[in-house]
């Protein structure tokens, strides 16, 4: 505390000794010495745009970064502000460690707390353990199985963050009752394919299409471990291929379609594969650009209605013959 009082007192003395035309604005708490920082206890509106940065020589011989702007802050940060800043950062760290889940059940419970899950979606996800769907050859990512963020699975793809899986299931759960047919495009790791299998039950059918043959084979092995009964009953089928090509052929139409990769534009062949009364969830947009998660509903008369939901970031849904990981003969 004494140390901080000395710093603030010294800086106030420096500011008084400086002429009005070049009067520096000192940061008195978090970020001291960092050119883009500002006190946590000061509102953003208290500062105008900083035009340049200079340094002054303090009596002690230490160099202090000073910010010259268009106006001074409306108030001087006091010791109470420093205490608030420390407390705020402590809360941030506690929040971070609170999200480090140690089990699949912990992961689902943490998603419940964010109100992202309905009861049906939560019960479904609890039955499909995420740990089976990571790359078994990449030991560095295995400890991320129960964390809420995407994880690389090879071939330029990722398994989506659990909250995005939860969002997709929530949006489609009313269209995936027992006996429904579901298409999972870009099924990747196979996690959501397994969840859809739980939802549609013994009388339903889920088709996952994955353009990378090796990843499709690995996802079937993952599903054998996670939901063996569904695989034995042939409720779930994984097929290698590209849905923008001719791979769907005689398959469909479907009650629900989930697309796990961003299409450059709305794929009309997928809309055609949607049953009247069906629903599709699909991200649309160019890679490394603005992508939007869209909800596509086809009413009983066959009219299509689109709605934008949120901004997202997905791997691209590539055209046949354009993916470096996939041979042309596989598409």
Convert the pLDDT of each residue in 94-115 to its tens digit.
333 345 788 999 999 989 887 7
What positions carry a catalytic annotation? 160
Among 15-19, 153-157, 230-234, name the most confident range: 230-234
Q: How many CA atoms lie within 13 A of 242 on its CB side?
A: 19
Q: What is the pLDDT of residue 124?
A: 97
Q: What is the pLDDT of residue 238?
A: 97
Place of tokens 């010495």: 33
The answer on pLDDT for 139 being more than 70 is yes
What are the distances in angstroms from CA 74 to CA 42, 43, 48, 284?
Answer: 9, 10, 11, 45
Confidence of residue 136 (pLDDT cuts 50, 70, 90): confident
Q: For residue 203, which of 224, 220, 182, 222 has the smallest C-alpha distance?
A: 182
Q: Report how far residue 181's alpha carbon sits from residue 195's, in angstroms, rounded to the nearest whole number.
A: 13
DSSP string, 58-103: -TTS-EEEEEE-SS--SS---HHHHHHHHHHHHHHHHHHHHT--SS
Confidence of residue 8 (pLDDT cuts 50, 70, 90): low
The answer on pLDDT for 232 being more than 60 is yes
Would you give the distance in Å from CA 288 to the centre of its chain? 14
Q: What is the pLDDT of residue 59?
A: 44
Q: Where are the alpha helices (DSSP H) in the chain?
A: 2-17, 79-98, 104-113, 119-126, 162-172, 191-200, 213-226, 228-232, 268-272
Long-range Cβ pairs for the range 138-145 (8 Å, 24+): 145/104
DSSP string, 123-166: HHHHTS-GGGGS-TT-GGGGGGTTSSS-EEEETTEEEPPHHHHH
Q: What is the pLDDT of residue 321?
A: 63
Q: Are strands 304-312 and 291-298 parallel, antiparallel or unpaired?
A: antiparallel
Q: What is the pLDDT of residue 224?
A: 97
Per residue in 13-49, pLDDT (tens digit) is 555 444 444 443 333 333 333 334 333 334 433 333 3
Question: What is the token pair recorded at 32?
Answer: 């001291």
Per residue in 286-305, pLDDT (tens digit) is 888 889 999 999 999 999 99
Q: How many CB atoms within 10 Å of residue 172?
A: 25
Higher pLDDT, 331 or 65: 331
Query: Which of these ranges, 149-163, 230-244, 315-329, has the smallest mean pLDDT?
Result: 315-329
């Amino acid at each position: 505390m004494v140390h901080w009082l000395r710093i603030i007192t010294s800086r106030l003395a420096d500011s008084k000794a400086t002429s009005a035309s070049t009067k520096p604005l000192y940061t008195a708490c978090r970020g001291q010495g960092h050119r883009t920082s500002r006190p946590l206890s000061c509102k953003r509106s208290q500062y105008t745009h900083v035009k340049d940065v200079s340094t002054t020589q303090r009596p002690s011989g230490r160099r202090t970064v000073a910010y010259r702007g268009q106006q001074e802050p409306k108030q001087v940060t006091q010791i109470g502000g420093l205490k608030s800043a420390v407390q705020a950062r402590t809360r941030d760290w506690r929040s971070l460690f609170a999200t480090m889940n140690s089990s699949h059940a912990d992961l689902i419970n943490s998603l419940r707390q964010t109100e992202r899950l309905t009861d049906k979606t939560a019960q479904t996800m609890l039955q499909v353990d995420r740990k089976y769907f990571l790359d078994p050859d990449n030991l560095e990512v295995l400890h991320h199985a129960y964390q809420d963020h995407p994880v690389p699975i090879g071939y330029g793809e990722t398994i989506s963050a659990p909250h995005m899986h939860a969002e997709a299931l929530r949006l489609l759960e009313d269209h995936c009752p027992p006996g429904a047919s579901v298409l999972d495009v870009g099924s990747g790791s196979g996690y959501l394919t397994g969840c859809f299998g739980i939802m549609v039950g013994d009388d339903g059918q889920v088709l996952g299409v994955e353009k990378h043959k090796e990843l499709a084979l690995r996802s079937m092995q993952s599903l054998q471990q996670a939901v063996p009964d569904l695989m034995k009953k042939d409720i779930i089928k994984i097929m290698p291929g590209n849905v923008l090509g001719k791979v769907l052929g005689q398959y469909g139409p479907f009650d629900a379609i989930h697309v796990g990769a961003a299409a450059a534009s709305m794929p009309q062949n997928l809309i055609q594969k949607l049953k009247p009364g069906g629903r599709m969830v699909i991200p649309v947009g160019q890679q490394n650009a603005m992508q939007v998660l869209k909800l596509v509903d086809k009413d009983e008369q066959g009219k299509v209605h689109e709605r934008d939901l949120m901004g997202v970031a997905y791997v691209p849904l590539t055209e046949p013959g354009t993916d470096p990981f996939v041979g042309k003969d596989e598409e």
